[in-house]
Chains A and B, each alone.
Chain A
Amino acid sequence: MTVFHSNCTLPPDGTGFVLSPNARGTLDILWSCLSILVLSTWSILHLNVPTQSTPSGKTQNYKRKAIRFLAKLQWMAVNVVAPEWALGKAWSDYRSVSTFEEEFDVFRKVDEVPWSRAHTYFANMGGFAIRFTAETHQAEEELEPNASDPTYNDTTPGNQGTNKSHEMSRTQNHTTVVGENYASKNKTVTSADPDAIALPTISTRIPRMSSSHQSCSEDPQLRAIGLGPTSGGAEKLGSRTDDGENGEPRQQELPVYMQAYFHSVSQGGLVSAESLERSIENSSRSIGIIDWTANDTNIHTVKKALEIVAPEHFKTELEKHRFLQSYTSWVHILHVLKEICGF
């Protein structure tokens, strides 16, 4: 490699002002470019609130610092290879904040709290945590429409009014009880691969399926086939429904592949729930105790939610749609609401 030594003429003594040379070196280009590259990939990082912990001692404190720094480095690397991520995420975040501006404005006035766009951003970053304490009231048996509450105005079609939701919660309470029965009766059912049993029922609309039917300890695979388009299967199903809960509206309007998925998950088949538990344990060892403890009530509620979940629980078209498209994601978020581990 040849190296060129540039050699500019110097101005005579007494020159008032000297302009920069009209030439630059290879490294001049490199440094100016690298400075921009670092600025555009590092300084635009707006990461979420990191995992909170209470480090005991210097080691854990430094470890935590290192982990947070490495997380930033990692996202910087993402920005170098896929810079479009940063712009896409920024646009999505921006739109997300704009989407809920009206609703927050309503609650801001009613609750008399300061709320700005930055607050919504902060919420999306994980800035607001809800803590369940000994003072927290038990779940209400029936949702009483509160007069002081503004109705959460959803602009999507299919939104139910307050009266309707009052009515719904009553029926839901009933299904809760059914769900409990089901849980106690149905301990022996083997969980199956949801993909495997989804196949035979493709393109059939699954009729309402009572929980009494689901609680029969039949092999889920056979059950799925029994629900196929053949009339024999349907009749069988009908007779089962009748000897159940006297024709009460049931929640099982879900396709079989989803029912199977939820079933296997509620039997403890969710791998990432275990890895969540593990990662909490590991990080509490390295960065200090994470203030997050077991809560029996919420564990119980999540279990029940997994058992009774149905499209009718979702009050808006948006929620329904999202549930049908990304029910696996829903399960993962649900598992974060629950508390799985205790140390």
Chain B
Amino acid sequence: MGPHPARPQGDLWILDAHQLLVARELGIIENLPKLSNDELDDKNKEDALFKVLALGQVIWFLVQMGTRLSYHLLTSQLEIVVFSFAICTALTYGLLLDKPKDASTSVIVSAARYPTPEKMIRIAIAGPGTFGLFRRSIWIPNNAIHSDSKRPMVGPMAKMNQGVVLALVIFGAVHCVAWDFIFPTQVEKVLWRVCSLATIVVIPLCVGINLFISMIWTRVAKREGFSIKYKDTEGVFNFTLSFVFVVCRLFIIVEMFRSFVTLPSGTFRTTWSANLPHLG
């Protein structure tokens, strides 16, 4: 055993925050990695000007939509969809204020000692789960979901689900503003309504049913000493609902551009917000 003499570099572990804590606790590393706040700031590629411009544009759009809706001026379907994006973006921006953007190098720390198999087992269980594909890279993939709760009964996806459900309710509700808009054909109008409702309902339904099943499983399995196989409910059922959801989303994306050719004349009126500074 021991590190291979011909390969003095040894190997590399990319640990997430929870794993780093466990590694520190178990003595794999002697100290938490030292990285000054300034050095970390330097890794952050966030550009203040760009952020101000982006935020300004989003705020301008929100003001513009607000005035249009309050004056009962007609709007295009595209604007309605983009309006829902803008609301979610504003919320996301708020949540990500502390997160460094586009850091492209890792800080490398030397390990103090090799782990025993028992330690390895615990470090691995602290690691991030993935949404969709399993982890296949050494670096942390972008679909990683980190541990976000210390309560054992809360599933690893709980917080993710909360955010998703909130976003979808905002999204679908805003889409419903276009309930009585003018569409190229009557069929499209009905489809728009169906898809808007599906946006709200489908994924929360999926999440709800999965939670219910896993709750039942936990209860039964606790009694049976976990000898029953936990069937991930991400089976045919989830696939079908996700498929329905994606089709609905795609329809709305196509329809928001298609309805552009039949905009009523009121849509082309502007409000005082046209005088505010904005791009495009």
Contact = CB atoms under 8 A, between A and B. Distances in A.
A297 B93 CA distance: 43
Contacts of B147: 96, 99-100, 318, 322
Interface stretch (A49-57, A185-193, A215-223, A239-247): A49-57
B125 A314 contact: yes
Interface in B131-155: 134-142, 144-153, 155
Nearest to A146: B27
Interface string B228-251: 111000000000000000100110
Q: How large is the interface on B (under 10, 10 to 19, 20 to 34, 35 or more residues)?
A: 35 or more
A80 B263 CA distance: 23
Contacts, number: 498
Contacts of B31: 111, 113
Interface string B107-123: 11111111111111111
B229 A255 contact: yes
Given A93-B96, A172-B116, A333-B135, A26 B260 contact: yes
A200 B92 CA distance: 48
B59 to A, nearest CB: 11
Interface of B: 1-5, 7-18, 20-29, 31-37, 40, 43-44, 50-51, 54, 57-58, 61, 64, 76, 78-79, 82, 84-86, 88-89, 91-93, 95-96, 98-130, 134-142, 144-153, 155-156, 159-164, 166-168, 171, 203, 214, 221, 224-230, 246, 249-250, 253, 260-261, 263, 267-270, 274-275, 278-280
Nearest to A280: B138
Q: How large is the interface on A (under 10, 10 to 19, 20 to 34, 35 or more residues)?
A: 35 or more
A103 B118 contact: no
A309 B116 CA distance: 12
A204 B7 contact: no
Given A87-B92, A89-B160, A115 B32 contact: yes
A10 to B, nearest CB: 17
A181 interface: no
A339 B11 contact: yes
Nearest to A307: B117
B23 A130 contact: yes
A118 B99 contact: yes
19 contacts: A21-B270, A35-B57, A84-B171, A91-B95, A91-B166, A111-B24, A114-B37, A121-B99, A124-B140, A125-B140, A128-B35, A136-B110, A139-B113, A140-B113, A255-B227, A276-B138, A301-B117, A329-B134, A333-B135
Nearest to A295: B11
Nearest to A86: B92
A131 B12 contact: yes
B107 A255 contact: no
B117 A305 contact: yes
Contact of B16 (A26, A124, A317, A320): A124
A276 B136 contact: yes
Contacts of B96: 44, 46, 90, 93-94
A103 B26 CA distance: 14
A117 interface: yes
Contacts of B40: 116, 118-119, 122
Given A86-B92, A130-B12, A323 B29 contact: no
B84 to A, nearest CB: 8
A129 interface: yes
A108 to B, nearest CB: 7
